[in-house]
Structure 1
């Protein structure tokens, strides 16, 4: 039996004991039979902790801008319990996400989060515990979880899509001890539904706002498609989030929300259980407030997954601990290339981006980096590969959904949306229709030629060529302005907060490298972060 997920429903401190004493119907950590099955004993013990915590721990512990290390230290020294911690995040979400500035970043709250936290409190200190033990995380709502939360991709057609299995990402997080606090709102269908729609909008979840200017910045300023993941972590609604990227969807909302975002090499993190767009470009990655937290989370996500064969390419290249590469002197002697064509200025926003990147370069040079001006060969990329792969991959995914989901194919989704167009397809569905019009076969000659061109111009004549010829450690961009090239190549990038425009809009610098260069990119990013420290949390009244 599925416990109803708490979509846009929030728990306040006064409700904690009632929730914990309610009958146990299953747990969103996938261990419904083994978690807090004897609810009377659990609720009795937890109620004492919560009562004490509301009077002591919660008042003295500050969650704003707190890190994984700080939380784990507080938990280990009994300054706070997992239940108290989760409750603090739930209270903050209730106060600022659906009230106050109404950031609207969290689509679904895990109805079992407090019960999972109670189990964490029971086992803390007993045996080996993972690197994310007790850490509340958000998942973009295209990542399957076998629990009481649906996986919707922001679309009404999938509002009752409860997965029968955890995604690889969810499984890895749970094994590392993370508490999945909820699902984050996102651009519908990973921003591949139509054109002319603001980033961060979905028919199911509505519009996500940028916490740095919820009343003043334009709707799409939050970035996407991992919009809720970005806005939610920037707003301190959880510690870290998982985003996904096909082209810019981690880098864009991370830079727009003054976050660190890592877009891994395609193959480093399994896509099993993620609603697909393009299997040649899709990847999942961490979004966090610090390079350290992002590096810790990335190490949790890696591994070879037989159900996603491309992960076999990561064998011998992936790490399970990227914190070894958190080097303060990581920029010393680094050769970093920049193509100023990607910093062209055509309005005030881009002029501010250029100013901030130039200031960042000064920091890098002061740390011993060598900045080389380079030219990345131009190529006009199309959406053909995405249209072909979206239809093929999505139809495969829809074969696995439960009977209460009313669609089984992309064609079904298009017709479903037409039944209530003002609500289900407010901005249209041109990408869905273009994809449906093409062959589902990935042996189609047009697809094969387009994919070959993408690889040739993004890798051989693009990133590989420029970096090898100039002996570079990385390429440097503002925000996600160069994201399309590593997206086509399947190569990694990491973005780091670099400052704010004259109107307060966050700007990031992005380091891009060749395949499986995440460790080196983390060295560069950490060194820049620690020597600049540009992130400032958004302020809510």
Structure 2
């Protein structure tokens, strides 16, 4: 189990997130190599930091005075030891209802966990930016709760959003340096619904850049780690949300799914994740990957939490024609549909073709069959199901490659404020992570919006949808079952295989990933339940029944980091710009590691978007190979391990430190890393 969060007084809660000197003081137990300790560099800029310190103290005092409400808002929170780790939404809701905690307490408790486990310790790297207004929003919601009561179960509950959900109070970048400065003019529909429900948007999570993959690596966010094994990927593209919710950095989090991007992170992180029926919830205001296949929704640690989240965002949106089914009717109530005994007398078809027959498929396939045996023991009737020509119908049914380039152009054009206009511009300017270059260039090659191959793929989707519905109706099935991922979680940097995402994505039918246990090496795995159109509440009832009768949820355990070793070769930097940036890079040839510290005086570059390492190319910088820090960080330190190809590029002076900021939004401030 994770360490218990210490309790805060109101003054401590405000100061803990406002005063960088207190944060640095608390982190001095972390190891820094000699001259790299950040406090040593503060001495070089003493006057500037003294001024900043004074201004911070004044800000803290003003915030403290502004946050002083009647005692009933903060009563009993100074000494309470309430644990947010693994707490359900209703446990948090009831604690606020009974005046045990405040929303501000919850916000600061989650921020503390983010600081301890995302920014430090195992450095999971799931959060790309935090909402600077989260505490003030929590204070306002606490005041409203005392004066008028609670709006509903999400009142004052901290939530996280994938970085492709439009928010007017934070940038929405899809974890790309190309969009680091982009602040939409309107919230996404689902974000509006969450704000109306009283949720506190705590921040944005990292994602596979522009949602174009399933391992969650990006130019703005870097590589997110799996909390159950930090050497492995968290799934994607909503991997930041998956890791964050598994590690209890918020009560619940939001993702999107074009082909597995909710379900794969749910499987990899021991979570519930529903790819809803297309049209259950609006995708308006979500940066598109494929308008035909895109859906959005929550990931949660429990089925009930998922139900609460779905209730908040389902329904009609005039801006999304897919939701027209709810013009004259209310969306379903997911919480009311939950039934501990739903598996009794359920008819479930085992879709054997999606289990795979390769040796790598056997371990998870065996364990999924054991989960199906459990369903039978709980009263379900199961049978193997075959859909004629399923594999050939699935092949070529995805429309992502046909829609992504054009959908992105349309989205960026409609905003009127985007810093880039197209995928082509992103590639031309090197504003991407190199892991995405091949995918982006392949998708850029699509020359027509409505070419014959695209039309054929759409026809395949219609035929596939009809075939699945016909089989399920003919055999009176409540669901089809198969592995969410039929192969183990890959290590970071390795290719991830074994996804079964396409069936739901190409048919538009709902699919729920349900935690089903752990492999022999303690990696999570899941079963997937696919249902008929808008049977989403029934699927969740089945998942809830399985959860309540098995209890497969386990929080991750974070092992302490090992010895960091010593570093050997100092590396020089030389910026072409006049602004000051202090850097220390030290390369250890024996370990192949590069330790770094980069410090930028506050105010010299405006808002900091990202610090990255890029490949040097003849016409400027190439794609991002490592993201050192994300938005808002003026000082960053850490260590990365270079593969042999990158070591060769470093020795050839072909790796460039690039700083993206509001003054240099396209990374004009850069310096090669030079070994003397």
TM-score bin (small chain): 0.7 to 0.9
Once residues 505 and 218 of structure 2 are traced to their aligned partners in structure 1, the CA distance between those partners, rounded to angstroms, is 23
1:253-264 matched pairs, under 5 angstroms: 253-264=265-276
Q: Contact conserved, 2:190 with 2:282, CA < 8 A, in 1?
A: yes
Contact 2:343 2:375 (C-alpha < 8 Å) held by counterparts: yes
**Preserved CA contact (<8 Å) 1:86 1:136:** yes
TM-score normalised according to structure 1 size: 0.86
Using the TM superposition, give the Cα deviation of residue 14 of structure 1 relative to its aligned residue in structure 2, in angstroms.
4.2
**Counterpart Cα distance in 2 of 1:429 and 1:315:** 42
Matched, 1:472 2:472: no
Are 1:338 and 2:350 an aligned pair? yes
Q: Which residue of 2 aligns with 1:79?
A: 100
Q: What's 1:179 paired with?
A: 200
Q: CA deviation at 1:399?
A: 1.1
Give the aligned partner of residue 421 of structure 2: 408
- 1:449 aligned to which of 451, 456, 462: 456
Deviations 1:494-522 (A, max 9, x none): 11111000001101111101211101101
CA contact (8 A) 2:332 2:537 kept: no
Tell me if the contact between 1:314 and 1:516 (Cα under 8 Å) persists in the aligned partners: no
Relative to structure 1, is the Cα distance of residues 45 and 285 closer, same or farther in structure 2, using a 3 angstrom cutoff? same
Looking at CA atoms only, which structure, 1 or 2, has the larger radius of gyration? 2
User: Once the 2 structures are TM-superposed, how far is the Cα of residue 451 of structure 1 from its aligned partner?
Assistant: 0.9
CA 1:375/1:314 → structure 2, altered by over 3 Å: closer, same or farther? farther
Out of 84, 93, 104, the position equivalent to 2:125 is: 104
CA deviations on 1:248-277 (whole Å, 9 max, x unpaired) are 110100011000001101111111110001
Among candidates 394, 410, 414, match of residue 396 of structure 1: 410
* Residue of structure 2 aligned with 1:43, choices 67, 71, 79: 67
Superposition pairs of residues 159-170 of structure 1, within 5 angstroms = 159-170=180-191
- Alpha-carbon contact 2:511-2:528 (below 8 Å) kept: yes
> What SS does the corresponding residue of 1:183 show, helix, strand or coil?
strand
What is the RMSD of the two structures over their aligned residues, measured on CA atoms?
A: 2.5
User: In 2, Cα distance between the equivalents of 1:382 and 1:272?
Assistant: 26
Query: In 2 relative to 1, CA 494–183 (structure 1 residues): closer, same or farther, beyond 3 Å?
Result: same
Q: Give yes or no for contact 1:46–1:118 (8 Å, CA) kept in 2.
A: no
- 2:240 and 2:69 map into 1 onto residues whose CA distance is 34
Partners of 2:359 and 2:145 lie apart in 1 by 53
SS of the residue corresponding to residue 69 of structure 2 reads: helix
Q: 1:520 aligns with which of 517, 538, 559?
A: 538
Paired position in structure 2 for 1:435:
443
Unaligned 5+ segments in structure 1 are 1-11, 22-37, 193-197
- Runs ≥4 in structure 1, deviation > 6 angstroms? 18-21, 46-52
For 2:277, which of 243, 247, 265 is the aligned residue?
265
For 1:203 and 1:13, how far apart are their aligned partners in 2?
36
Name 1:130's counterpart in structure 2: 152
Q: Which residue number in structure 1 is paired with residue 44 of structure 2?
A: none
Structure number with greater CO (CA < 8 Å, separation at least 6) is 1
2:297 to 251, 265, 285: 285
CA deviation after TM superposition for structure 1 residue 410, in Å: 2.3
SS in 2 for 1:79: coil
Find the partner of 2:309 among 265, 278, 297: 297
Match of 1:16 among 11, 14, 26: 14
Q: TM-score, normalised by structure 2?
A: 0.69
Deviation at 1:428, TM superposition (A): 4.4
Specify the alignment match of 1:203 in structure 2. Answer: 219
State the alpha-carbon separation in 2 of the partners of residues 65 and 129 from structure 1: 23
Cα-to-partner distance string for 1:71-118 (whole Å, 9 max, x where unaligned): 010001111111111000000000001111111111111111111010
- Distance between the aligned counterparts of 1:412 and 1:203, measured in 2? 15
Structure 2 gaps of 5+ residues are 1-9, 20-61, 486-498, 560-676
Contact 2:165 2:188 in 1 (8 A): yes
CA gap of 1:257–1:522, structure 2 versus 1, over 3 A, is: same
Residues 358-416 of structure 1 deviation map (CA, whole Å, 9 limit, x = unaligned): 2211221111100110113222423762122112211111013354x431122222212
Say if 1:101 and 1:128 are closer, same or farther in 2 by CA, change over 3 A. closer
- CA–CA distance in 2 between the matches of 1:363 and 1:15? 46
- Note the alpha carbon deviations across 1:129-162, whole angstroms, 9 max, x for none: 1331111111000000111x11111111000011
What is the rounded CA distance, in whole Å, between the counterparts of 1:318 and 1:440 in structure 2? Answer: 39
| CA distance in structure 1 between the aligned counterparts of 2:71 and 2:150, rounded to whole angstroms | 26
CA distance in 1, matches of 2:516, 2:255: 20
How many residue pairs match? The answer is 492
